[in-house]
Structure 1
Amino acid sequence: MARVLVIGSTNVDLAVRVERHPSPGETLSARTLHTSPGGKGANQALAAALSGADVVFAAKVGRDAYADEALRLLRTSRVDLSRVEVVDDPTGTAFITIDDSGENSIVIVPGANGAWRPEDVRTLESAIADAEAVVCQGEIPAEVVDAVAVACRAASTRFVLNLAPVIDVARETLTAGDPLVVNQHEARLAADALGIAPADDDSEMIRAVVAAGVPSLVLTRGADSTLLVSADRVDEIVSCPVDVVDTTGAGDAFVGALVAKLADGADTRDAARYAAAFAADTVTRAGAQESYRRG
């Protein structure tokens, strides 16, 4: 079984359902409030485990009641949590608003996720060396992601970077991502960080990003398609048509499933096809981790 190390965030999600998103200064009444596990790192770890990988999750949680909830579904899915550290900061929290079309907006309080320091990566060197792939996201400090990229390079371990949200990582970290996984907004910001002029055409823009030194790039475009770019080709994976209930955590589901298959030796096209189907299935149910199909 391929081993994946996920280094990143874990949160508790507080999700409210509304008819529509409020305008600035407007107050709306929510229909429901639901508390569930979340965080981009934890979501990706769960998706990778459910996609067949042997997953180690490195994260930080607080000494509070939210910590157990944040890790609940990872425990039941046999994710290795021996690298999760309890710190004095509160467990990260995400406030999610979901409208009737299934679209969401999210505000994150980093809490314990912000307690990561570059020196923490030294304690993970053996886990990095043992993994077929390591994945990071943008919900931990940029200098920590930079340190992970350096450690992966030293260990000759594949580094997957999901630049979401976009943080100010080093150029060398961007060009270490194999693949760099971004949505359209994130791709534009990554291109800007690499000194690439804006382009209206997605394919032109991401070709330029790869030409700037990124080994491979995966551009997710929601319900439209996914573009896969390497030095010699661009492929498109058409998204599966589904009835959308809630898009929360779908991007993370895609990344976790993608990395699981890449770590197991699949090529990027086959891995992305699987990941697109896995992610599409999750949006037919409410929640982030709770929407990921088991069995």
Structure 2
Amino acid sequence: MNDFDLLVVGSANADLVIGVERRPAAGETVLGSDLAVHPGGKGANQAVAAARLGARTALLARVGDDAHGRLLLESQRAAGVDTGGVLTGGAPTGVALITVDPSGDNSIVVSPGANARLTPQDVRAAAGLLAAARVVSAQLEVPLETVAEVVRTRAAGSRFVLNPSPPGPLPADVLAACDPLVLNEHEALFMLADSDTDVDGDGPGGDGGDAGGHAEDDPEDWARELLALGARSVVVTMGARGALVAEGGPDAATVRVPSPRVDAVDTTGAGDAFTAALAWRLSLGEDLVKAAAFAVRVGAAAVTKEGAQASFPTAAEVSAL
């Protein structure tokens, strides 16, 4: 019997946010707002989002033995996440230093801290936790070799979900395990930019690379190309336009899943909420299209509130959307 619907393996950061009238130039100092500290990190966000929906969720991550680490642990426990797999020490808790101007544009510097110390050995030591999960979800804010060890260590019957953010080269065995590979439109193009060799690219929202011969406005083609590279299934998220699902090989049919119309307030963390919801519904045995249809509703609900973890809806809130 599986003890957990979902095990999330990934990052846990403290988001340190300051509002500024304008970002400083080199050598310049500007005054900002009071510092706001929020729990974040893609792994921690996904775990909270899933647990808030009702999933039996566990988190495998690493935080520092410091105030930020305690904040992150408290946030997880408050949402109902099992934190037995959260390791402490090795480096300070990861932080994201964020400045936000009046237009909402932000600049972010991330110090991975303890996230970079989550090792393959940590994964092997948590083999019992991986064996207890129906679905394992990961991202790329922890070392790639750690994600690769997750693929090797997980239970034979479990399903592996990967959000390749920030995108980088993926080993063939990791890509072949993705069921699905969940990525947004920017990440899809970046992942396909050098698809003749490795799957790689820049971080989401960056200048990106040349998409080569890939159609720049055709998510169906992107999904098929990613399937041809080895992913077992692909989900491309498209914001207010919903998501695109493809599975079954490079000639597979694709299905567009529309999103409900909402008044968006803040899109922070919406992708994490989507991925968490998708992974949970897959753990319940739903097919990929049906799971994606639920996930777009969760993502839509998340953008109607400010913040990341604070915006994640309960199942009742999703039903009321």
User: TM-score, structure 2 length as denominator?
Assistant: 0.83
Return the alpha-carbon distance in structure 2 between the equivalents of residues 150 and 193 of structure 1: 25
Q: What's 1:41 paired with? A: 43
CA gap of 1:124–1:205, structure 2 versus 1, over 3 A, is same
**Cα displacement string for residues 64-100 of structure 1 (whole angstroms, at most 9, x for unaligned residues):** 1111111222111221101111113000111234455
| 1:284 to 2:304 alignment | yes
Q: How far apart are 1:102 and its partner, in Å?
A: 5.3
| 1:239 to 2:259 alignment | yes
**The one of 136, 139, 148 aligned to 2:138:** 136
**The one of 3, 6, 12 aligned to 1:4:** 6
Identify unmatched segments of 5+ residues in structure 1. Answer: none
Q: How far apart are 1:195 and its partner, in Å?
A: 2.1
Return the alpha-carbon distance in structure 2 between the equivalents of residues 18 and 277 of structure 1: 33
Q: What's 1:223 paired with? A: 240
Higher relative contact order structure (alpha carbons within 8 Å, sequence separation ≥ 6): 1
2:256 alignment partner AA:
E
Matches within 5 A, 1:138-287: 138-152=140-154, 155-192=156-193, 194-195=195-196, 197-200=213-216, 201-231=218-248, 232-287=252-307
Q: How far apart are 1:191 and its partner, in Å?
A: 2.3
More displaced stretch, 41-50 vs 205-214 = 205-214
Q: What's 2:204 paired with? A: none
More displaced stretch, 104-113 vs 86-95 = 104-113
SS in 2 for 1:256: helix
**Cα displacement string for residues 177-214 of structure 1 (whole angstroms, at most 9, x for unaligned residues):** 10000111211232245428533222112211112221
SS in 1 for 2:83: strand
Identify unmatched segments of 5+ residues in structure 2. Answer: 198-212, 317-321
CA gap of 1:214–1:284, structure 2 versus 1, over 3 A, is same
Task: Give 4+ residue runs of structure 1 displaced > 6 Å after superposition.
Answer: none
User: TM-score, structure 1 length as denominator?
Assistant: 0.90
Return the alpha-carbon distance in structure 2 between the equivalents of residues 163 and 24 of structure 1: 32
2:285 alignment partner AA:
G
C-alpha root-mean-square deviation of aligned residues, in Å? 2.3
Aligned length: 293
More displaced stretch, 183-192 vs 133-142 = 183-192
CA gap of 1:107–1:165, structure 2 versus 1, over 3 A, is same
Q: How far apart are 1:104 and its partner, in Å?
A: 4.9
More displaced stretch, 168-177 vs 247-256 = 168-177
Are the equivalent residues in 1 in contact too, given 2:24–2:30 (CA < 8 A)? no
